Amino acid sequence: MKIFITGTDTDAGKTYCTAALLQGLQQRQLKALGLKPFAAGVNADGQNTDALALQSATDLPLTYQQVNPVCLVDPIAPHIAAARQGLTLTFSQLTDAVRAVEHYQTDFTLVEGAGGWMLPMTDDDYLSDWVAELGWPVILVVGMKLGCLNHALLTVQALQHAGVPLVGWIANCIDPDMLSANENIASLQQRIPAPCLAVLPFAAEGVASAMQLQLADAVINSVIHRR
Protein backbone atom coordinates (compact mmCIF):
# COMPACT_ATOMS: atom_id res chain seq x y z
CA MET A 1 0.00 0.00 0.00
CA LYS A 2 1.43 3.32 -1.13
CA ILE A 3 -0.10 6.48 0.34
CA PHE A 4 0.65 10.07 -0.60
CA ILE A 5 0.74 12.64 2.21
CA THR A 6 -0.23 16.17 1.24
CA GLY A 7 -1.02 19.28 3.24
CA THR A 8 -3.16 22.38 3.17
CA ASP A 9 -0.06 24.53 2.98
CA THR A 10 3.65 24.69 3.66
CA ASP A 11 4.28 24.08 7.37
CA ALA A 12 0.95 22.29 7.86
CA GLY A 13 2.97 19.54 9.54
CA LYS A 14 3.18 16.85 6.86
CA THR A 15 6.50 15.51 8.14
CA TYR A 16 5.37 15.61 11.78
CA CYS A 17 2.29 13.57 10.91
CA THR A 18 4.05 11.21 8.51
CA ALA A 19 6.71 10.38 11.10
CA ALA A 20 4.00 9.77 13.72
CA LEU A 21 2.14 7.45 11.36
CA LEU A 22 5.33 5.55 10.51
CA GLN A 23 6.03 4.98 14.18
CA GLY A 24 2.46 3.91 14.86
CA LEU A 25 2.49 1.40 12.00
CA GLN A 26 5.75 -0.02 13.30
CA GLN A 27 4.17 -0.41 16.74
CA ARG A 28 1.65 -2.66 14.98
CA GLN A 29 4.59 -4.72 13.70
CA LEU A 30 4.01 -3.51 10.16
CA LYS A 31 6.83 -2.76 7.77
CA ALA A 32 6.65 0.90 6.73
CA LEU A 33 8.95 3.50 5.25
CA GLY A 34 8.73 7.19 4.43
CA LEU A 35 9.99 9.01 1.36
CA LYS A 36 10.30 12.69 0.48
CA PRO A 37 11.38 12.60 -3.18
CA PHE A 38 11.64 16.41 -3.49
CA ALA A 39 12.82 18.68 -0.68
CA ALA A 40 13.91 22.31 -0.68
CA GLY A 41 16.12 23.80 2.00
CA VAL A 42 19.18 22.24 3.61
CA ASN A 43 21.07 22.23 6.91
CA ALA A 44 24.81 22.79 7.35
CA ASP A 45 25.43 19.25 6.07
CA GLY A 46 23.50 19.86 2.87
CA GLN A 47 20.53 17.71 3.94
CA ASN A 48 16.86 18.51 4.43
CA THR A 49 15.63 18.26 8.02
CA ASP A 50 12.19 16.92 7.02
CA ALA A 51 13.80 14.10 5.06
CA LEU A 52 16.10 13.35 8.00
CA ALA A 53 13.05 13.12 10.27
CA LEU A 54 11.46 10.53 7.97
CA GLN A 55 14.71 8.59 7.78
CA SER A 56 14.91 8.57 11.58
CA ALA A 57 11.28 7.45 11.94
CA THR A 58 11.71 4.56 9.50
CA ASP A 59 12.84 1.31 11.10
CA LEU A 60 14.68 0.19 7.96
CA PRO A 61 18.29 0.79 6.83
CA LEU A 62 17.42 3.54 4.36
CA THR A 63 20.14 5.88 3.20
CA TYR A 64 19.46 9.59 3.07
CA GLN A 65 19.65 9.44 -0.73
CA GLN A 66 16.90 6.84 -0.81
CA VAL A 67 14.61 8.96 1.34
CA ASN A 68 15.33 12.21 -0.47
CA PRO A 69 16.94 11.74 -3.91
CA VAL A 70 16.32 15.34 -5.03
CA CYS A 71 17.47 17.83 -2.39
CA LEU A 72 17.37 21.47 -3.46
CA VAL A 73 19.39 24.09 -1.64
CA ASP A 74 17.08 27.10 -1.38
CA PRO A 75 14.03 26.88 0.96
CA ILE A 76 11.61 28.08 -1.70
CA ALA A 77 9.14 26.53 -4.16
CA PRO A 78 10.93 23.45 -5.58
CA HIS A 79 10.51 24.35 -9.27
CA ILE A 80 12.08 27.76 -8.61
CA ALA A 81 14.85 26.26 -6.49
CA ALA A 82 15.53 23.69 -9.20
CA ALA A 83 15.70 26.36 -11.91
CA ARG A 84 18.26 28.29 -9.83
CA GLN A 85 20.41 25.15 -9.80
CA GLY A 86 19.93 24.47 -13.51
CA LEU A 87 17.77 21.40 -12.82
CA THR A 88 14.42 20.22 -14.14
CA LEU A 89 12.04 18.24 -11.94
CA THR A 90 10.41 15.26 -13.65
CA PHE A 91 7.86 12.57 -12.89
CA SER A 92 10.49 9.94 -13.67
CA GLN A 93 12.57 11.17 -10.72
CA LEU A 94 9.60 10.53 -8.45
CA THR A 95 8.88 7.11 -9.92
CA ASP A 96 12.54 6.11 -9.69
CA ALA A 97 12.60 7.13 -5.99
CA VAL A 98 9.70 4.78 -5.23
CA ARG A 99 11.08 1.91 -7.30
CA ALA A 100 14.47 2.21 -5.60
CA VAL A 101 13.01 1.03 -2.28
CA GLU A 102 10.53 -1.56 -3.51
CA HIS A 103 12.88 -4.40 -2.58
CA TYR A 104 12.03 -3.73 1.07
CA GLN A 105 8.52 -5.14 0.38
CA THR A 106 6.80 -2.92 2.90
CA ASP A 107 3.22 -3.03 4.13
CA PHE A 108 3.04 0.76 3.76
CA THR A 109 5.12 3.24 1.77
CA LEU A 110 4.33 6.83 2.73
CA VAL A 111 5.37 9.40 0.12
CA GLU A 112 5.36 12.94 1.46
CA GLY A 113 4.85 15.79 -0.94
CA ALA A 114 6.27 19.29 -0.74
CA GLY A 115 4.12 22.30 0.06
CA GLY A 116 0.45 21.75 -0.76
CA TRP A 117 -1.42 19.59 -3.25
CA MET A 118 -1.02 21.86 -6.31
CA LEU A 119 2.77 22.06 -6.19
CA PRO A 120 4.30 23.21 -9.51
CA MET A 121 7.15 21.03 -10.80
CA THR A 122 7.69 22.83 -14.10
CA ASP A 123 5.83 25.51 -16.04
CA ASP A 124 3.33 22.85 -17.13
CA ASP A 125 3.41 19.99 -14.61
CA TYR A 126 2.19 19.64 -11.04
CA LEU A 127 3.10 17.09 -8.39
CA SER A 128 -0.62 16.35 -8.09
CA ASP A 129 -0.65 15.15 -11.72
CA TRP A 130 1.81 12.40 -10.87
CA VAL A 131 -0.22 11.22 -7.87
CA ALA A 132 -3.45 11.28 -9.89
CA GLU A 133 -1.80 9.35 -12.70
CA LEU A 134 -0.88 6.58 -10.27
CA GLY A 135 -4.24 6.70 -8.50
CA TRP A 136 -2.64 6.57 -5.07
CA PRO A 137 -4.80 7.18 -1.99
CA VAL A 138 -4.09 10.45 -0.21
CA ILE A 139 -3.98 11.60 3.41
CA LEU A 140 -4.53 15.33 3.91
CA VAL A 141 -2.79 17.10 6.77
CA VAL A 142 -4.73 20.18 7.85
CA GLY A 143 -2.61 22.69 9.72
CA MET A 144 -5.12 24.04 12.23
CA LYS A 145 -4.83 27.82 12.12
CA LEU A 146 -6.90 30.79 11.07
CA GLY A 147 -7.83 30.28 7.41
CA CYS A 148 -7.53 26.49 7.48
CA LEU A 149 -11.21 25.91 6.60
CA ASN A 150 -10.79 27.52 3.20
CA HIS A 151 -7.43 25.83 2.58
CA ALA A 152 -8.76 22.41 3.58
CA LEU A 153 -12.00 22.55 1.62
CA LEU A 154 -10.32 23.87 -1.53
CA THR A 155 -7.76 21.07 -1.29
CA VAL A 156 -10.47 18.44 -0.85
CA GLN A 157 -12.28 19.88 -3.86
CA ALA A 158 -9.07 19.61 -5.91
CA LEU A 159 -8.54 16.01 -4.75
CA GLN A 160 -12.08 15.14 -5.80
CA HIS A 161 -11.55 16.80 -9.18
CA ALA A 162 -8.36 14.76 -9.67
CA GLY A 163 -10.27 11.57 -8.86
CA VAL A 164 -7.87 10.36 -6.17
CA PRO A 165 -9.22 8.49 -3.11
CA LEU A 166 -8.99 10.39 0.16
CA VAL A 167 -8.11 7.99 2.99
CA GLY A 168 -8.83 10.69 5.55
CA TRP A 169 -7.45 13.85 7.08
CA ILE A 170 -5.44 14.78 10.15
CA ALA A 171 -6.18 17.86 12.23
CA ASN A 172 -2.68 18.98 13.18
CA CYS A 173 -2.88 21.68 15.86
CA ILE A 174 0.07 23.83 14.85
CA ASP A 175 -1.20 26.98 16.58
CA PRO A 176 -1.61 26.45 20.35
CA ASP A 177 -3.42 29.79 20.62
CA MET A 178 -5.95 29.18 17.84
CA LEU A 179 -9.38 30.49 18.83
CA SER A 180 -12.31 28.07 18.50
CA ALA A 181 -10.07 25.23 17.39
CA ASN A 182 -12.61 22.55 18.34
CA GLU A 183 -15.38 24.33 16.45
CA ASN A 184 -13.14 24.54 13.37
CA ILE A 185 -12.40 20.82 13.59
CA ALA A 186 -16.11 20.07 13.91
CA SER A 187 -16.81 22.22 10.84
CA LEU A 188 -14.28 20.23 8.82
CA GLN A 189 -15.65 16.91 10.08
CA GLN A 190 -19.06 18.00 8.85
CA ARG A 191 -17.82 19.07 5.42
CA ILE A 192 -14.99 16.69 4.44
CA PRO A 193 -16.36 13.40 3.04
CA ALA A 194 -13.61 11.32 4.64
CA PRO A 195 -12.80 10.42 8.25
CA CYS A 196 -10.78 12.57 10.61
CA LEU A 197 -7.99 10.10 11.34
CA ALA A 198 -6.63 11.96 14.35
CA VAL A 199 -6.49 15.28 16.12
CA LEU A 200 -2.84 15.82 17.00
CA PRO A 201 -2.49 18.36 19.83
CA PHE A 202 0.29 20.92 19.84
CA ALA A 203 3.21 19.16 21.55
CA ALA A 204 6.76 20.48 21.44
CA GLU A 205 8.04 17.08 22.57
CA GLY A 206 6.41 15.28 19.63
CA VAL A 207 3.48 12.92 19.17
CA ALA A 208 2.88 10.58 22.11
CA SER A 209 3.23 6.86 21.48
CA ALA A 210 -0.46 6.19 22.20
CA MET A 211 -1.47 8.87 19.68
CA GLN A 212 0.87 7.38 17.06
CA LEU A 213 -0.85 4.04 17.52
CA GLN A 214 -4.31 5.62 17.35
CA LEU A 215 -3.39 7.32 14.08
CA ALA A 216 -2.00 4.10 12.60
CA ASP A 217 -5.12 2.15 13.56
CA ALA A 218 -7.36 4.80 12.01
CA VAL A 219 -5.41 4.67 8.74
CA ILE A 220 -5.45 0.87 8.67
CA ASN A 221 -9.22 0.79 9.32
CA SER A 222 -9.89 3.44 6.66
CA VAL A 223 -7.81 1.58 4.07
CA ILE A 224 -9.57 -1.72 4.85
CA HIS A 225 -12.98 0.03 4.66
CA ARG A 226 -12.17 1.51 1.26
CA ARG A 227 -11.27 -1.92 -0.06
Q: pLDDT by residue (tens digit) across 179-209?
A: 999 999 999 999 999 999 999 999 878 899 9
CA 120 to CA 150: how far, in whole Å? 20
Task: State yes or no: 2 annotated in a binding site.
Answer: no
- The total of structural domains in the chain comes to 1
Whichever domain contains 177, its CATH number is 3.40.50.300
CA 30 to CA 24: how far, in whole Å? 9
Predicted local confidence at residue 227, as pLDDT: 63
CA 29 to CA 19: how far, in whole Å? 15
Is 103 buried (19+), middle (13-18) or exposed (0-12) by CB count in 10 A? exposed
Predicted local confidence at residue 118, as pLDDT: 95
Which domain range does residue 33 map to?
2-226
Task: State yes or no: 68 annotated in a binding site.
Answer: no
Q: What is the 3-state secondary structure (H, E, C) of 153-215?
A: HHHHHHHHHHCCCEEEEEEECCCCCCCCHHHHHHHHHHHCCCCEEEEECCCCCCCCHHHHHHH
Please provide the average confidence, as pLDDT, over all residues in the chain.
95
Which positions are catalytic?
36
Residue 225 — very low, low, confident or very high, per pLDDT cuts 50/70/90? Answer: confident
Predicted local confidence at residue 206, as pLDDT: 86
Residue 81 — very low, low, confident or very high, per pLDDT cuts 50/70/90? Answer: very high
Task: State yes or no: 206 annotated in a binding site.
Answer: no
The 8-class DSSP code of residue 76 comes to S
115-174 pLDDT, tens digit per residue, is 999 999 998 999 999 999 999 999 999 999 999 999 999 999 999 999 999 999 999 999
Q: What is the pTM of this model?
A: 0.96
The residue-averaged pLDDT of 3-22 equals 96
CA 138 to CA 217: how far, in whole Å? 16
Residue 47 — very low, low, confident or very high, per pLDDT cuts 50/70/90? Answer: very high
Contacts of 81 (CB under 8 A, 6+ apart): 40, 72, 73, 74, 75
